[in-house]
Structure 1
Amino acid sequence: MLILYHGSTSVCSQKVRVGLAELGLSYDSVILDLQKGDQFAPDYRKLNPSAVVPTLVNDGLVVVESSLILEYLDREMGSGQLSPKGEAAQVAADHWMLRTLDMHAAINTLSFSTAARDRIRAKKTPEEIAQDLERMPDPVSRAKRQSLLEDGLASVHVMQALLVLRRAFTDMQAAFEAHDWMMGSAFSKVDVALIAYVDRLDRLGFSGLWLNEFPAIDGWLRAMQTRQSYATGIAAFADPVASKTLRQSGERYWPDLEERWLKLP
Protein backbone atom coordinates (compact mmCIF):
# COMPACT_ATOMS: atom_id res chain seq x y z
CA MET A 1 0.00 0.00 0.00
CA LEU A 2 1.21 3.46 -0.84
CA ILE A 3 1.65 5.88 2.04
CA LEU A 4 1.85 9.59 1.23
CA TYR A 5 3.17 12.07 3.78
CA HIS A 6 2.00 15.47 2.57
CA GLY A 7 0.84 18.95 3.44
CA SER A 8 -2.69 20.09 2.64
CA THR A 9 -1.67 23.24 0.74
CA SER A 10 1.93 22.36 -0.13
CA VAL A 11 2.33 22.84 -3.90
CA CYS A 12 4.61 19.82 -4.19
CA SER A 13 2.08 17.72 -2.29
CA GLN A 14 -0.67 18.97 -4.60
CA LYS A 15 1.42 17.98 -7.59
CA VAL A 16 1.74 14.38 -6.38
CA ARG A 17 -1.91 14.12 -5.35
CA VAL A 18 -2.98 15.23 -8.84
CA GLY A 19 -0.69 12.58 -10.31
CA LEU A 20 -2.11 9.88 -8.04
CA ALA A 21 -5.63 10.88 -9.08
CA GLU A 22 -4.76 10.85 -12.79
CA LEU A 23 -3.33 7.35 -12.40
CA GLY A 24 -6.29 6.18 -10.33
CA LEU A 25 -4.08 5.12 -7.42
CA SER A 26 -5.26 4.91 -3.83
CA TYR A 27 -3.01 5.67 -0.88
CA ASP A 28 -2.90 6.00 2.87
CA SER A 29 -2.78 9.69 3.73
CA VAL A 30 -0.60 11.14 6.47
CA ILE A 31 -1.06 14.91 6.58
CA LEU A 32 1.66 16.95 8.26
CA ASP A 33 0.81 20.35 9.72
CA LEU A 34 3.69 22.37 8.28
CA GLN A 35 2.77 25.50 10.21
CA LYS A 36 3.14 23.59 13.47
CA GLY A 37 6.43 22.04 12.33
CA ASP A 38 5.39 18.38 11.97
CA GLN A 39 7.99 18.05 9.21
CA PHE A 40 10.75 18.47 11.78
CA ALA A 41 9.66 15.52 13.92
CA PRO A 42 12.52 12.99 14.34
CA ASP A 43 10.52 10.08 12.92
CA TYR A 44 9.66 12.03 9.79
CA ARG A 45 13.24 13.29 9.41
CA LYS A 46 14.32 9.64 9.20
CA LEU A 47 12.19 9.37 6.05
CA ASN A 48 13.00 12.78 4.66
CA PRO A 49 16.14 14.38 6.15
CA SER A 50 15.39 17.62 4.30
CA ALA A 51 12.22 18.03 6.39
CA VAL A 52 10.02 18.79 3.40
CA VAL A 53 6.93 17.21 1.85
CA PRO A 54 5.83 15.10 0.14
CA THR A 55 7.35 11.71 0.88
CA LEU A 56 6.02 8.50 -0.65
CA VAL A 57 6.56 5.10 0.94
CA ASN A 58 5.79 1.91 -0.96
CA ASP A 59 6.45 -1.36 0.88
CA GLY A 60 9.40 0.17 2.68
CA LEU A 61 10.81 2.00 -0.36
CA VAL A 62 11.04 5.71 0.37
CA VAL A 63 10.73 8.14 -2.55
CA VAL A 64 11.25 11.89 -2.06
CA GLU A 65 11.08 14.95 -4.34
CA SER A 66 7.74 15.49 -6.06
CA SER A 67 8.95 15.17 -9.65
CA LEU A 68 10.74 11.92 -8.84
CA ILE A 69 7.63 10.63 -7.11
CA LEU A 70 5.57 11.40 -10.21
CA GLU A 71 8.12 9.65 -12.41
CA TYR A 72 8.16 6.62 -10.11
CA LEU A 73 4.37 6.33 -9.96
CA ASP A 74 3.94 6.67 -13.71
CA ARG A 75 6.71 4.19 -14.51
CA GLU A 76 6.01 1.55 -11.88
CA MET A 77 2.24 1.75 -11.50
CA GLY A 78 0.92 3.68 -14.47
CA SER A 79 2.63 1.83 -17.33
CA GLY A 80 3.98 5.17 -18.53
CA GLN A 81 0.55 6.50 -19.44
CA LEU A 82 1.51 10.03 -18.39
CA SER A 83 4.77 9.99 -20.36
CA PRO A 84 4.82 11.26 -23.96
CA LYS A 85 5.81 8.90 -26.72
CA GLY A 86 8.95 9.30 -28.79
CA GLU A 87 12.55 10.01 -27.83
CA ALA A 88 12.45 13.78 -28.46
CA ALA A 89 9.21 14.21 -26.50
CA GLN A 90 10.55 12.15 -23.62
CA VAL A 91 13.70 14.26 -23.41
CA ALA A 92 11.65 17.47 -23.53
CA ALA A 93 9.35 16.18 -20.80
CA ASP A 94 12.29 15.22 -18.60
CA HIS A 95 13.70 18.72 -19.06
CA TRP A 96 10.44 20.25 -17.88
CA MET A 97 10.43 17.98 -14.85
CA LEU A 98 13.87 19.34 -13.97
CA ARG A 99 12.72 22.91 -14.57
CA THR A 100 10.02 22.51 -11.95
CA LEU A 101 12.76 22.64 -9.31
CA ASP A 102 13.44 26.26 -10.23
CA MET A 103 9.73 26.96 -10.60
CA HIS A 104 9.08 25.58 -7.13
CA ALA A 105 11.79 27.85 -5.73
CA ALA A 106 10.14 30.79 -7.52
CA ILE A 107 6.68 30.02 -6.13
CA ASN A 108 8.18 29.55 -2.69
CA THR A 109 9.80 32.97 -3.02
CA LEU A 110 6.62 34.76 -4.08
CA SER A 111 4.60 33.03 -1.36
CA PHE A 112 6.95 33.75 1.53
CA SER A 113 7.64 37.33 0.45
CA THR A 114 3.90 38.14 0.40
CA ALA A 115 0.96 36.23 1.91
CA ALA A 116 2.91 33.68 3.95
CA ARG A 117 5.07 36.51 5.27
CA ASP A 118 1.96 38.33 6.49
CA ARG A 119 0.57 35.20 8.13
CA ILE A 120 3.79 34.23 9.89
CA ARG A 121 4.60 37.74 11.14
CA ALA A 122 1.04 38.17 12.43
CA LYS A 123 1.00 34.89 14.38
CA LYS A 124 4.55 34.58 15.69
CA THR A 125 6.98 36.68 17.65
CA PRO A 126 10.43 37.45 16.23
CA GLU A 127 11.86 34.93 18.69
CA GLU A 128 9.47 32.20 17.50
CA ILE A 129 10.29 32.96 13.88
CA ALA A 130 14.01 32.71 14.66
CA GLN A 131 13.42 29.33 16.33
CA ASP A 132 11.53 28.05 13.28
CA LEU A 133 14.32 29.21 10.98
CA GLU A 134 16.92 27.47 13.11
CA ARG A 135 15.12 24.16 12.66
CA MET A 136 15.52 24.29 8.88
CA PRO A 137 18.35 21.82 8.10
CA ASP A 138 19.58 23.55 4.93
CA PRO A 139 21.48 26.78 5.75
CA VAL A 140 20.93 28.21 2.25
CA SER A 141 17.18 27.68 2.45
CA ARG A 142 17.24 29.13 5.94
CA ALA A 143 19.02 32.28 4.78
CA LYS A 144 16.59 32.66 1.89
CA ARG A 145 13.55 32.28 4.15
CA GLN A 146 14.96 34.84 6.56
CA SER A 147 15.52 37.31 3.72
CA LEU A 148 11.96 36.86 2.43
CA LEU A 149 10.41 37.29 5.87
CA GLU A 150 12.49 40.35 6.69
CA ASP A 151 12.59 42.12 3.32
CA GLY A 152 9.43 40.97 1.52
CA LEU A 153 9.40 41.85 -2.16
CA ALA A 154 12.61 43.83 -1.68
CA SER A 155 14.49 40.56 -1.14
CA VAL A 156 17.12 39.77 -3.76
CA HIS A 157 15.43 36.41 -4.32
CA VAL A 158 12.30 38.01 -5.78
CA MET A 159 13.80 39.24 -9.05
CA GLN A 160 15.41 35.84 -9.60
CA ALA A 161 12.02 34.21 -9.10
CA LEU A 162 10.41 36.53 -11.62
CA LEU A 163 13.12 35.79 -14.19
CA VAL A 164 12.52 32.05 -13.79
CA LEU A 165 8.79 32.51 -14.25
CA ARG A 166 9.16 34.75 -17.30
CA ARG A 167 11.31 32.15 -19.05
CA ALA A 168 8.88 29.37 -18.12
CA PHE A 169 5.81 31.35 -19.19
CA THR A 170 7.42 32.24 -22.51
CA ASP A 171 7.94 28.55 -23.26
CA MET A 172 4.52 27.55 -21.97
CA GLN A 173 2.82 30.15 -24.15
CA ALA A 174 4.64 28.80 -27.21
CA ALA A 175 3.55 25.26 -26.33
CA PHE A 176 -0.11 26.22 -25.92
CA GLU A 177 -0.14 28.19 -29.15
CA ALA A 178 0.75 24.93 -30.90
CA HIS A 179 -1.46 22.46 -29.01
CA ASP A 180 -3.77 21.99 -26.03
CA TRP A 181 -1.33 20.43 -23.57
CA MET A 182 2.30 20.97 -22.69
CA MET A 183 3.67 18.04 -24.67
CA GLY A 184 1.20 18.02 -27.55
CA SER A 185 -2.34 16.82 -28.08
CA ALA A 186 -2.11 14.34 -25.21
CA PHE A 187 -2.23 15.19 -21.51
CA SER A 188 1.01 14.27 -19.73
CA LYS A 189 3.01 14.32 -16.52
CA VAL A 190 4.31 17.77 -17.46
CA ASP A 191 0.80 19.20 -17.15
CA VAL A 192 0.52 17.44 -13.78
CA ALA A 193 3.90 18.80 -12.69
CA LEU A 194 3.05 22.42 -13.54
CA ILE A 195 -0.55 22.88 -12.43
CA ALA A 196 0.06 23.37 -8.69
CA TYR A 197 2.58 26.17 -9.31
CA VAL A 198 0.39 28.18 -11.68
CA ASP A 199 -2.68 27.53 -9.54
CA ARG A 200 -0.87 28.90 -6.47
CA LEU A 201 -0.06 32.12 -8.30
CA ASP A 202 -3.69 32.36 -9.34
CA ARG A 203 -4.85 31.83 -5.76
CA LEU A 204 -2.47 34.57 -4.62
CA GLY A 205 -4.12 36.99 -7.06
CA PHE A 206 -1.03 37.10 -9.29
CA SER A 207 -2.65 36.01 -12.57
CA GLY A 208 -1.56 39.35 -14.02
CA LEU A 209 1.83 37.71 -14.48
CA TRP A 210 0.43 35.94 -17.56
CA LEU A 211 -2.96 37.35 -18.54
CA ASN A 212 -1.72 40.06 -20.91
CA GLU A 213 1.53 38.67 -22.24
CA PHE A 214 0.95 34.91 -22.00
CA PRO A 215 -2.85 34.51 -22.27
CA ALA A 216 -2.79 30.88 -23.46
CA ILE A 217 -1.60 29.89 -19.99
CA ASP A 218 -4.92 30.99 -18.55
CA GLY A 219 -6.88 28.78 -20.93
CA TRP A 220 -4.72 25.81 -19.92
CA LEU A 221 -5.14 26.64 -16.21
CA ARG A 222 -8.92 26.75 -16.51
CA ALA A 223 -8.92 23.45 -18.42
CA MET A 224 -6.78 21.88 -15.71
CA GLN A 225 -9.13 23.18 -13.02
CA THR A 226 -12.04 21.29 -14.60
CA ARG A 227 -10.31 17.90 -14.32
CA GLN A 228 -11.35 15.51 -11.58
CA SER A 229 -7.71 15.19 -10.53
CA TYR A 230 -7.64 18.91 -9.71
CA ALA A 231 -10.78 18.56 -7.60
CA THR A 232 -9.28 15.56 -5.81
CA GLY A 233 -5.69 16.70 -5.46
CA ILE A 234 -6.00 20.46 -4.92
CA ALA A 235 -9.52 21.82 -4.45
CA ALA A 236 -10.53 19.19 -1.88
CA PHE A 237 -7.74 20.33 0.45
CA ALA A 238 -8.39 24.08 0.12
CA ASP A 239 -10.08 25.75 3.07
CA PRO A 240 -12.45 28.47 1.72
CA VAL A 241 -11.68 30.94 4.51
CA ALA A 242 -7.93 30.44 4.22
CA SER A 243 -8.18 30.70 0.42
CA LYS A 244 -9.99 34.03 0.70
CA THR A 245 -7.39 35.34 3.14
CA LEU A 246 -4.59 34.18 0.84
CA ARG A 247 -6.00 36.07 -2.13
CA GLN A 248 -6.71 39.21 -0.13
CA SER A 249 -3.18 39.22 1.23
CA GLY A 250 -1.63 38.56 -2.18
CA GLU A 251 -3.68 41.24 -3.90
CA ARG A 252 -2.27 43.87 -1.56
CA TYR A 253 1.18 43.03 -2.89
CA TRP A 254 0.19 42.88 -6.56
CA PRO A 255 0.84 46.54 -7.52
CA ASP A 256 4.41 46.32 -6.18
CA LEU A 257 4.96 42.92 -7.76
CA GLU A 258 3.57 44.06 -11.10
CA GLU A 259 5.94 47.01 -11.12
CA ARG A 260 8.89 44.66 -10.64
CA TRP A 261 7.55 42.25 -13.27
CA LEU A 262 7.28 45.00 -15.88
CA LYS A 263 10.89 46.01 -15.29
CA LEU A 264 12.20 42.62 -16.40
CA PRO A 265 14.05 42.52 -19.73
Structure 2
Amino acid sequence: MRRLWGRLSSVNVQKAVWGLEELGLPYERVEAGGAFGRVRDPDYVALNPNGLVPVLEEDGFVLWESNAILRYLARGHDRGGLWPEQPQAAALVDQWLDWQATRFTPSTRDAFWQTVRTPPEQRDQAVIDRSVAASEDCAAILDAHLTGRPYAVGDRFTAADIALGAATHRWLHLDVPRIERPALRAWYERIRTRPAAAAALPPLS
Protein backbone atom coordinates (compact mmCIF):
# COMPACT_ATOMS: atom_id res chain seq x y z
CA MET A 1 0.00 0.00 0.00
CA ARG A 2 1.25 3.47 -0.89
CA ARG A 3 0.09 6.57 0.98
CA LEU A 4 1.10 10.20 0.50
CA TRP A 5 0.43 12.63 3.31
CA GLY A 6 -0.06 16.29 2.41
CA ARG A 7 -2.37 18.96 1.07
CA LEU A 8 -2.23 19.73 -2.64
CA SER A 9 -1.78 23.47 -1.98
CA SER A 10 1.79 22.69 -0.88
CA VAL A 11 4.39 23.08 -3.64
CA ASN A 12 6.32 20.21 -2.08
CA VAL A 13 3.33 17.90 -2.10
CA GLN A 14 2.69 18.88 -5.72
CA LYS A 15 6.10 17.50 -6.71
CA ALA A 16 5.39 14.15 -5.10
CA VAL A 17 1.91 13.93 -6.61
CA TRP A 18 3.26 14.85 -10.04
CA GLY A 19 5.86 12.09 -9.80
CA LEU A 20 3.33 9.49 -8.71
CA GLU A 21 0.94 10.50 -11.47
CA GLU A 22 3.64 10.49 -14.16
CA LEU A 23 4.57 6.95 -13.16
CA GLY A 24 0.99 5.75 -12.93
CA LEU A 25 1.57 4.44 -9.42
CA PRO A 26 -1.52 3.78 -7.29
CA TYR A 27 -1.60 5.78 -4.06
CA GLU A 28 -3.88 7.25 -1.45
CA ARG A 29 -3.38 10.91 -0.58
CA VAL A 30 -4.28 11.94 2.96
CA GLU A 31 -4.90 15.63 3.59
CA ALA A 32 -2.42 17.03 6.11
CA GLY A 33 -0.78 20.34 6.87
CA GLY A 34 -2.15 23.87 6.76
CA ALA A 35 -5.85 24.03 7.53
CA PHE A 36 -6.00 20.23 7.68
CA GLY A 37 -3.66 20.04 10.66
CA ARG A 38 -2.51 16.55 11.71
CA VAL A 39 1.21 17.30 11.33
CA ARG A 40 1.67 17.87 15.08
CA ASP A 41 -0.24 14.74 16.04
CA PRO A 42 1.97 12.13 17.72
CA ASP A 43 1.29 9.53 15.03
CA TYR A 44 2.32 11.94 12.29
CA VAL A 45 5.42 13.17 14.14
CA ALA A 46 6.39 9.52 14.42
CA LEU A 47 6.46 9.48 10.62
CA ASN A 48 8.17 12.84 10.18
CA PRO A 49 9.70 14.50 13.25
CA ASN A 50 9.84 17.80 11.33
CA GLY A 51 6.05 17.98 11.25
CA LEU A 52 6.07 18.88 7.56
CA VAL A 53 4.52 17.54 4.37
CA PRO A 54 4.82 15.46 2.29
CA VAL A 55 5.48 12.04 3.73
CA LEU A 56 5.42 8.88 1.63
CA GLU A 57 4.52 5.54 3.19
CA GLU A 58 5.07 2.41 1.13
CA ASP A 59 4.60 -1.01 2.68
CA GLY A 60 6.21 0.02 5.96
CA PHE A 61 8.87 2.23 4.35
CA VAL A 62 8.60 5.91 5.35
CA LEU A 63 10.26 8.78 3.47
CA TRP A 64 10.08 12.54 3.92
CA GLU A 65 11.57 15.51 2.03
CA SER A 66 9.86 16.11 -1.30
CA ASN A 67 12.88 15.84 -3.55
CA ALA A 68 14.00 12.68 -1.78
CA ILE A 69 10.56 11.26 -2.52
CA LEU A 70 10.81 12.38 -6.14
CA ARG A 71 14.26 10.80 -6.51
CA TYR A 72 13.07 7.56 -4.94
CA LEU A 73 10.08 7.30 -7.23
CA ALA A 74 12.01 8.17 -10.38
CA ARG A 75 15.03 5.99 -9.65
CA GLY A 76 12.99 3.05 -8.44
CA HIS A 77 10.22 3.04 -11.01
CA ASP A 78 11.44 4.85 -14.13
CA ARG A 79 15.22 4.69 -14.36
CA GLY A 80 16.10 5.72 -17.88
CA GLY A 81 12.97 7.87 -18.10
CA LEU A 82 12.29 10.33 -15.30
CA TRP A 83 15.75 9.44 -14.01
CA PRO A 84 18.43 9.14 -16.73
CA GLU A 85 20.76 6.15 -16.81
CA GLN A 86 23.73 8.18 -18.07
CA PRO A 87 25.69 9.44 -15.01
CA GLN A 88 26.24 13.00 -16.21
CA ALA A 89 22.59 13.44 -17.18
CA ALA A 90 21.54 12.02 -13.81
CA ALA A 91 23.92 14.45 -12.08
CA LEU A 92 22.29 17.35 -13.93
CA VAL A 93 18.86 16.23 -12.75
CA ASP A 94 20.26 16.23 -9.20
CA GLN A 95 21.72 19.69 -9.78
CA TRP A 96 18.38 21.18 -10.79
CA LEU A 97 16.51 19.46 -7.96
CA ASP A 98 18.97 20.93 -5.48
CA TRP A 99 18.76 24.38 -7.11
CA GLN A 100 14.99 24.33 -6.98
CA ALA A 101 15.05 23.45 -3.28
CA THR A 102 17.81 25.83 -2.22
CA ARG A 103 17.36 28.82 -4.56
CA PHE A 104 14.19 29.04 -6.62
CA THR A 105 11.46 28.03 -4.19
CA PRO A 106 13.01 29.90 -1.23
CA SER A 107 13.22 33.04 -3.36
CA THR A 108 9.46 32.98 -4.00
CA ARG A 109 8.43 32.08 -0.46
CA ASP A 110 7.93 35.55 1.01
CA ALA A 111 6.09 36.86 -2.05
CA PHE A 112 3.82 33.82 -1.91
CA TRP A 113 3.06 34.14 1.79
CA GLN A 114 2.54 37.88 1.58
CA THR A 115 0.28 37.92 -1.50
CA VAL A 116 -1.58 34.63 -1.10
CA ARG A 117 -1.81 33.85 2.60
CA THR A 118 -1.58 37.25 4.29
CA PRO A 119 -4.55 39.65 4.47
CA PRO A 120 -3.95 42.77 2.34
CA GLU A 121 -3.86 45.11 5.31
CA GLN A 122 -1.05 43.08 6.91
CA ARG A 123 1.22 42.78 3.88
CA ASP A 124 4.73 44.23 3.86
CA GLN A 125 5.55 45.59 0.41
CA ALA A 126 9.28 45.74 1.14
CA VAL A 127 9.28 42.01 1.91
CA ILE A 128 7.38 41.32 -1.30
CA ASP A 129 9.76 43.46 -3.36
CA ARG A 130 12.84 41.67 -2.00
CA SER A 131 11.29 38.28 -2.72
CA VAL A 132 10.29 39.29 -6.25
CA ALA A 133 13.80 40.56 -6.98
CA ALA A 134 15.34 37.30 -5.78
CA SER A 135 12.78 35.32 -7.78
CA GLU A 136 13.56 37.30 -10.92
CA ASP A 137 17.24 36.38 -10.55
CA CYS A 138 16.26 32.71 -10.47
CA ALA A 139 13.76 33.07 -13.31
CA ALA A 140 16.47 34.67 -15.44
CA ILE A 141 18.82 31.74 -14.78
CA LEU A 142 16.17 29.21 -15.70
CA ASP A 143 15.05 31.16 -18.78
CA ALA A 144 18.61 31.33 -20.08
CA HIS A 145 19.10 27.61 -19.46
CA LEU A 146 15.87 26.67 -21.25
CA THR A 147 16.56 28.80 -24.31
CA GLY A 148 16.89 26.34 -27.18
CA ARG A 149 16.09 23.36 -24.95
CA PRO A 150 12.81 21.42 -24.82
CA TYR A 151 13.37 20.23 -21.24
CA ALA A 152 15.62 20.97 -18.28
CA VAL A 153 17.97 18.04 -18.94
CA GLY A 154 18.42 16.54 -22.39
CA ASP A 155 15.63 16.06 -24.87
CA ARG A 156 13.12 14.29 -22.64
CA PHE A 157 10.99 15.06 -19.62
CA THR A 158 12.70 14.14 -16.32
CA ALA A 159 12.27 14.57 -12.59
CA ALA A 160 14.05 17.92 -12.96
CA ASP A 161 11.10 19.24 -14.96
CA ILE A 162 8.73 18.16 -12.20
CA ALA A 163 10.59 20.01 -9.44
CA LEU A 164 11.23 23.09 -11.55
CA GLY A 165 7.73 22.99 -12.99
CA ALA A 166 6.06 23.06 -9.58
CA ALA A 167 8.24 26.00 -8.51
CA THR A 168 7.58 27.83 -11.77
CA HIS A 169 3.83 27.25 -11.41
CA ARG A 170 3.93 29.08 -8.10
CA TRP A 171 6.06 31.92 -9.45
CA LEU A 172 4.00 32.54 -12.59
CA HIS A 173 0.72 32.62 -10.68
CA LEU A 174 1.70 35.11 -8.00
CA ASP A 175 -0.04 38.48 -8.26
CA VAL A 176 3.19 40.44 -8.66
CA PRO A 177 4.85 42.24 -11.59
CA ARG A 178 7.19 39.97 -13.52
CA ILE A 179 9.63 40.26 -16.40
CA GLU A 180 8.41 38.08 -19.25
CA ARG A 181 10.77 35.15 -19.85
CA PRO A 182 9.90 33.61 -23.26
CA ALA A 183 11.84 30.36 -22.92
CA LEU A 184 10.64 29.77 -19.37
CA ARG A 185 7.06 30.49 -20.36
CA ALA A 186 7.17 28.22 -23.43
CA TRP A 187 8.64 25.35 -21.42
CA TYR A 188 6.09 25.79 -18.64
CA GLU A 189 3.17 25.87 -21.06
CA ARG A 190 4.50 22.70 -22.69
CA ILE A 191 4.90 20.65 -19.51
CA ARG A 192 1.71 21.88 -17.83
CA THR A 193 -0.37 20.16 -20.53
CA ARG A 194 0.76 16.78 -19.27
CA PRO A 195 -2.10 14.90 -17.54
CA ALA A 196 0.04 14.36 -14.44
CA ALA A 197 0.69 18.11 -14.20
CA ALA A 198 -3.03 18.81 -14.34
CA ALA A 199 -3.53 16.45 -11.39
CA ALA A 200 -0.72 18.03 -9.37
CA LEU A 201 -0.99 21.77 -9.97
CA PRO A 202 -4.15 23.35 -8.58
CA PRO A 203 -4.78 27.12 -8.34
CA LEU A 204 -2.73 28.81 -5.65
CA SER A 205 -4.35 28.95 -2.21
Q: For this structure pair, what is the TM-score category when the shorter chain's length is used for normalisation?
A: 0.7 to 0.9
Cα pair distance change 1:205/1:221, threshold 3 Å = farther
Asked if residue 162 in structure 1 is aligned to residue 163 in structure 2, the reply is: no
* Residue type of the alignment partner of 1:94: D
Match of 1:218 in 2: 185
Q: Distance in 2 between matches of 1:89 and 1:33?
A: 34
Structural mapping, 1:43-122, within 5 Å: 43-102=43-102, 103-118=104-119
Which residue of structure 1 lines up, in the alignment, with residue 41 of structure 2? 41
| AA at the equivalent of 1:222 | E
Tell me what 1:138 maps to. Answer: none
Matched position secondary structure for 2:84: coil
Q: Give the superposition deviation at 1:80.
A: 4.3
Q: 1:188, CA displacement in angstroms?
A: 0.7
Aligned to 1:209, the other structure's residue is in SS state coil
Q: Does 1:209 align with 2:200?
A: no
Correspondence for 2:162 among 192, 197, 203: 192
Query: Percent identity, aligned pairs only?
Result: 28
Partner of 1:153: 125
Question: Which is higher, the Rg of structure 1 or of structure 2?
Answer: 1
Cα 1:31–1:57, aligned 2, differ >3 Å: closer, same or farther? same
Q: 1:53 and 1:106 mapped to 2: Cα distance?
A: 19
Deviation at 1:62, TM superposition (A): 1.1
Q: CA deviation at 1:88?
A: 2.4
Give SS of 1:57's match: strand
Which of residues 230, 233, 246 in structure 1 aligns to 2:200? 233
Give the Cα–Cα distance (whole angstroms) in 2 for the partners of residues 234 and 160 of structure 1: 22
Give the whole-Å Cα distance in 1 for the aligned partners of 2:57 and 2:132.
31
After TM superposition, the score normalised by the length of structure 2 is 0.88
Tell me the equivalent position of 2:9.
9
The answer as to whether partners of 1:16 and 1:66 remain within 8 angstroms in 2 is: yes
Q: Structure 1 residues 55 and 210 mapped into 2: Cα distance closer, same or farther (>3 Å)? A: farther
TM-score (norm 1): 0.69
Structure-2 change in CA distance of 1:111 and 1:85 (3 Å): same
Instruction: Name segments (4+ residues, structure 1) moved above 3 Å.
Output: none
Unmatched segments (≥5 aa) in structure 2: none
| Per-residue CA distance 1:31-87 (angstroms, 9 max, x = gap) | 115125332222211111111111001111111111110000111222342023433
- Cα contact 1:210–1:218 (8 A) shared by 2: no
Residue identity in the other structure for 2:83: S
Contact 1:48 1:64 in 2 (8 A): yes
Alignment check: 8 A CA contact 1:13 1:66 kept: yes
Whole-Å separation in 2 of the counterparts to 1:60 and 1:26: 16
Please tell me the residue identity of whatever aligns with 2:126: A
Q: 1:170 to 1:152 in 2, by over 3 A?
A: same
Does residue 175 of the first structure (1) align with residue 142 of the second (2)?
Answer: no
Q: Give the drift of 1:12.
A: 0.6
Question: C-alpha displacement at 1:158, in angstroms?
Answer: 5.9
Q: Which amino acid aligns with 1:87?
A: P
User: What residue ranges of structure 1 are gaps of 5+ in the alignment?
Assistant: 122-149, 247-265
| Matches of 2:179 and 2:20, distance apart in 1 | 28
Deviation at 1:98, TM superposition (A): 0.9
